Structure 1
Amino acid sequence: MSDKLTRAEAAVYRLLTLADRPDETVEVLFGKPFAAETGEWVCPCRIVGAGRDMCFRVFGADGVQALQLSFAVIDGAMAGKGLRLLWDGEAFGGFTAAAF
């Protein structure tokens, strides 16, 4: 895997649009969690768009926890940058918000 997670390498991704610039997208990518040599698990993730390119490697006790924590890291990074995002035309509340 390259230093910057690509769509081809990602396990899943989501395309969002900027609320004030609907023609501009923000791509959020989550890689497949993997075991590190330390015994911890790592989930690579990345936000690309709105003039930003932020890459993260989120650690957890197992792959599920690393993935769960990566949702919180991505939500925090987007909130910290003040990004107001839409998903399928509706306000996007984040990956950790209840979706059902």
Structure 2
Amino acid sequence: MLYKTLEFQNVLGQKVKVIEIPVVARNHQHYFMIQARLQMFISQLYNQPKATSSFSFRDYLKQKMEWSEFERLFSMDARIRKNHHTNDDTLIFLPACARNRDFPC
């Protein structure tokens, strides 16, 4: 599975880094859930500054998702490599507000 990293500045101007953001196709069953959770996570980090500056989106999802769904999402590596038929323009990893820098999300 492909992962992306996002860096932005929070409300106080501190640099925040979100790592391990899964990249999935728009027609993937978890597309909407990943988009919604990522937007909530980024909004939380933007508005509530923390002492640390690097966060794992994968760890966040592990806490928020049912374990069976989490395993299904993150155990797709072999299946994706075998059946990869999507082109790059259908891959996503950021909510619209982050792409447009229209914070807060």
Same fold, judged at TM 0.5 (above):
no
Q: TM-score scaled to structure 1, two decimals? A: 0.31
Q: Which has the higher contact order (CA 8 A, sep 6+)?
A: 2
